[in-house]
Amino acid sequence: MKHIFRKGNPNKPTLLLLHGTGGSEEDLIPIAEMIDPDANILSLRGNIVENGMPRFFRRLAEGVFDEEDLIKQTEHLYDYLSEASETYKFDRDNVIAIGYSNGANIAGSLLFHYKHPLKAAILHHPMVPRRGITLPPQPQLPIFIGAGVNDPICPKQESTDLEQLLRSQEAEVTVHWEENGHQLTRTEVLAAKHWYEERFK
Ligand code: MLT
């Protein structure tokens, strides 16, 4: 996968950055720097291109995911993390995802399909990746969800459903609500930073 790897303090987590639709591997670097300037960074570009816009999996329409492709790309990402950890010599068991929108959705899909695929996850404006499946347990896995009360792409119920599903997996879920829409605001990132520092600093 097209990516940026930046080595940080070897004792720190590796922040896995996953951009939103139409983004690139550059997008979330400033956010990772805000959250933990000493961490390693692995920032990926989605392999799927929709009308020129990179994404992490195909969709059939706005908010309607191509489940077959979602499963395939999730597996690909899962395998890629092991490969990258060998190439760049980072600890595969100390990877924390930071995803926005489509990137948060594939991070959520990792949590829906694999047992303990990440050490923790910061999900900015995620949706429920799949419904009606048995989910693997993720005991005590820390998850931050940033959501907007007026998010047209990810309505309130969607965030609440995701929170409940992740809790049913025994994850430790924190939801931060913004009086905003789908955009990623500075206050939301600062809330994620505060959440991260309480757990990982
Ligand atoms: C998705 O397709 O993953 C969601 O609709 C969010 C987005 O627009 O990227």
pLDDT at 50: 97
Asked whether 5 and 84 are in contact (CB, 8 A), the reply is: yes
Residues 17-25, mean pLDDT to the nearest whole number: 98
pLDDT for 69: 98
Please tell me the predicted confidence (pLDDT) of residue 201: 79
User: pLDDT tens digits for 64-123?
Assistant: 999 999 999 999 999 999 999 999 999 999 999 999 999 999 999 999 999 999 999 999
Ligand 1 atom 5 nearest Cα: 63
Q: What is the pLDDT, as a whole number, of residue 33?
A: 98
Instruction: Output the pLDDT for position 6.
Output: 98
Q: Which two structure tokens, joined as six digits, stand for 82?
A: 């092991």
Is-catalytic flag, 82?
no
Q: CA of 45: how far to CAs of 1, 26, 158, 193, 198, in Å?
A: 7, 9, 25, 23, 29
Q: Is 21 in the pocket of ligand 1 (CB under 6 A)?
A: yes
Output the pTM of the full model: 0.98
pLDDT digits (tens, 9 = 90+) for 29-44: 999 999 999 999 999 9
pLDDT tens readout for residues 143-198 = 999 999 999 999 999 999 999 999 999 999 999 999 999 999 999 999 999 999 99
User: What pLDDT was estimated at residue 131?
Assistant: 97
**Minimum CA distance residue for ligand 1 atom 7:** 102
| Distant-in-sequence, close-in-space partners of 142: CB < 8 Å, separation ≥ 6 | 120, 121, 171, 172, 174, 195, 199
Whether 151 sits among the annotated catalytic residues: the reply is yes
Within 8 A by CB and 6+ apart from 89, the residues are none
Residue with tokens 């395939």: 72
Over 90: is that where the pLDDT of 57 sits? yes
